Amino acid sequence: MAKTMSPSRTVPITTGQIAKFQELLAAELRKRALPSEPVQYVLETYGGRLAKKFVDKVSERVQSFSDRIIRGVRVNRALSARQQFEKAGYYGSGCILELDDRALDCMPTSKGEVAEVHFFTIDHEVRNTQLLREYAKRGLRVDPTAHAQVYYDDYSFYEHCSISTWKGPDGTWYSAHFGRKAIGERLPFLDVSESHMSCWGSGWRFAGVLDR
């Protein structure tokens, strides 16, 4: 089942959550066993600024989760990339399927049957090289076959247009694009091929898995 998170629909941080952060910080500080005298100097001189930096980092990570759709999947890694995408685009429903072997051959792969696929948006234009940093900032990496599994498990998800993109060894960028045609019968489509987008506008939805 999809999980969505929106800051407008959640209550403010709770006392229990604040206490947990304090507990984790305390445990980490004890583990480091820092010398008391310089710690006192740092605390008095920089304590407020260090606390603000920590909260800024927490806020940044929380914001990165605020608009996500999250799906848990089981991926048969024994299948080839082509088999994974053919399976995702089948269902006999008129899905328009375009698969380029060059894109399939250099597609990033993962290990492990269980994956958590995160769909996220970015509120500004981003180039392909910057997009990889956006993934890293969210603790994600590209896993196109796990991405495809979401659409196999729930065909209605074709209502959600989404992208995975990766760079081939020759410097060519490729993408896996799922969605529905914007005109006519609005048939579902799955296109895995060379990407002709060097810059993605705001509103595109990207897919990745937790980088564990």
Q: How many domains does the chain have?
A: 2
CB 163 within 8 A of CB 201: no
Which pLDDT band, with edges at 50, 70 and 90, does 103 fall under? very high
pLDDT for residue 209:
94
Which pLDDT band, with edges at 50, 70 and 90, does 4 fall under? very low
What is the extent of the structural domain holding 27?
3-65
Q: Same domain for 150 and 188?
A: yes
* Range from 36-50, 147-161, 169-183 that averages highest in pLDDT: 36-50
Of 22, 37, 65, at which residue does a domain stop? 65
Average pLDDT, the chain: 85
Q: What percent of the chain has pLDDT over 70?
A: 88
Q: Same domain for 177 and 92?
A: yes
Alpha carbon distance 6, 45 (integer Å): 37
CB 145 within 8 A of CB 110: yes
Alpha carbon distance 60, 38 (integer Å): 29
Of 32, 65, 98, at which residue does a domain stop? 65
Which pLDDT band, with edges at 50, 70 and 90, does 188 fall under? confident
Q: Same domain for 145 and 98?
A: yes
pLDDT for residue 23:
95
Q: Same domain for 107 and 7?
A: no
Measured CA distances, 8 to 12, 61, 121 (Å): 10, 16, 16
Of 17, 43, 65, at which residue does a domain stop? 65
Q: Looking at the predicted structure, is the pLDDT value of residue 3 above 90?
A: no
Q: Same domain for 123 and 173?
A: yes
Q: Average pLDDT for residues 51-77, to the nearest whole number?
A: 83
Q: Same domain for 60 and 98?
A: no
CB 95 within 8 A of CB 188: yes
Q: Same domain for 52 and 157?
A: no
Q: What is the pLDDT of residues 15-33, one digit of tens each?
A: 999 999 999 999 999 999 9
Q: Same domain for 140 and 179?
A: yes
Q: Same domain for 147 and 187?
A: yes
Q: Same domain for 206 and 104?
A: yes
Q: Same domain for 174 and 75?
A: yes
Q: Same domain for 38 and 113?
A: no
